[in-house]
Amino acid sequence: MVDLERHARHLSLPNVGVEGQQRLVGASILIIGAGGLGSPAALYLAAAGVGHLGLVDDDVVDLSNLQRQILHTSESVGTPKVESAKKRLHALDDGVKVTSFQTRFNPGNAMQLLEMGWDLVIDGTDNIPTRYLIDDACALKGIPWVYGSIFQFEGQVSVFGYQGGPSYRDLFPEPPPPNAVRSCEEAGVFGVLPGVIGLLQATEAIKLLIGLNVALSGRLLIYDAASMSFTQLSFERDEERTKILDLSLSSAMFDTSEWCSLEPDSRQGDIEKQEAHEGKNMFNHISITDALERRSSGWSPFVLDVRSDGEYHEAHADSCDLQVPHDQVLSALEQIPSNQDILVYCRSGMRSQIAAMSLIQAGYNAAHMYNLDGGIIAWKSAAPAEIIN
């Protein structure tokens, strides 16, 4: 039943009204992760009047969480996140049904958790295997999901599996090698960044539920908090990729102990793993450790800096061959060789992904395209003498 006073501002919107608000009241959303992304998403979905929220998280509240996980308070430290979140959401609106699952979303419970009638899923996780698992499980159940990712100062948002639209595997066909991408625990995260990304996730979720245009189906939105910029990349379904018939592909990632390690030194052997990815439809990921090791053995890639002009003048790699902002890279094709390995870097590794994808779509060989995970931040940390300030 619609609370006319509480949701009066929604009811006055021509594209929402009573009918749209009723859809929200009757909707059920599963939020996987009650941390940085799940916090703002859950708060605004509850405030918007979504009738049933499910929360999946096996962690407890830590003091270090409070910098960004706004569902929780100092009094919640040491308590399960799902219970802290449930208490906070009921304080906001006790009419919202909140079902908590104090467990980690994994191959053993994924299908069971999704069999509870959810209209969509919100990704509030922080690791790659779980994202592939969410994508596979949601594809099998026919449930759309809203993706969010954060790293240092940059974030990404997209909507997968909506009305036959593309999935996470269409955008990222192959995962990077285990441990190639540092976690937020290792690399840090700008405190307000999850708020921005989580709110964008909630925005697309609400629009989906009430029948408005879902702008990020088939589009990846990139937000850079440092430059306060938004860019988008369009992508489509890959009809030739392997069809998902079960959870075997994503489950295999959970069976690899390397995915669970946060130790940067455990990246040995990434070169061989990276070579196994050559010939795929996706660019290669490479850590600065492996890039430096390859270079010492004679590797000489074309080094492409895709940050802004201002960032480049503040600091750049002395081996940089070309600097062009990531959203202008297609205007510089004549300056970028097509018969040589290309090492693309930005601040932390997100804008360079967009540049790499753009070059591949323009006809460059994916096997020769290398995205530097961690960007110039990782480069400066590993080899400060190679950075010109």
For CATH 3.40.50.720, list the domain ranges present in the chain: 8-234
Return d(Cα 65, Cα 213) in angstroms, integer: 34
Predicted pLDDT at 4: 82
pLDDT given for residue 177 in this prediction: 55
346 is annotated as an active-site residue = yes
Q: Where in the chain is the domain with CATH 3.40.250.10?
A: 268-388
- Domain 268-388, CATH: 3.40.250.10
Instruction: Return the closest-CA partner of residue 181 out of 387, 382, 386, 372.
Output: 372
Question: What does the pLDDT read at residue 176?
Answer: 61
Mean pLDDT by 10 residues, the chain (389 residues): 82 86 93 95 95 95 90 93 95 94 95 95 91 96 95 90 92 65 59 94 96 91 85 82 90 71 34 35 82 94 93 93 90 94 89 86 89 90 91
* Residue 275: per-residue pLDDT: 33
User: How many whole angstroms separate alpha carbon 314 and alpha carbon 310?
Assistant: 6
Q: Please give the pLDDT value at position 272.
A: 32
**What pLDDT sits at residue 173?**
75
pLDDT of residue 179: 52
Which residue of the set 138, 260, 320, 346 is catalytic?
A: 346
Q: Per the structure block, which two tokens stand in for 257? A: 């102990």
Query: What is the pLDDT at residue 127?
Result: 84
Backbone angles phi, psi at 386, to 5 degrees: -90, 0
Tell me the two tokens of residue 216.
């990020």
Question: The pTM is what?
Answer: 0.73
Q: pLDDT for 132-157, tens place per residue?
A: 999 999 999 999 999 999 888 889 99
User: Could you confirm whether 260 is annotated as catalytic?
Assistant: no
Domain 8-234: state its class.
alpha beta
pLDDT digits (tens, 9 = 90+) for 190-201: 889 999 999 999
Task: Quote the CA–CA distance of 290 and 383 in Å, as a whole number.
Answer: 12
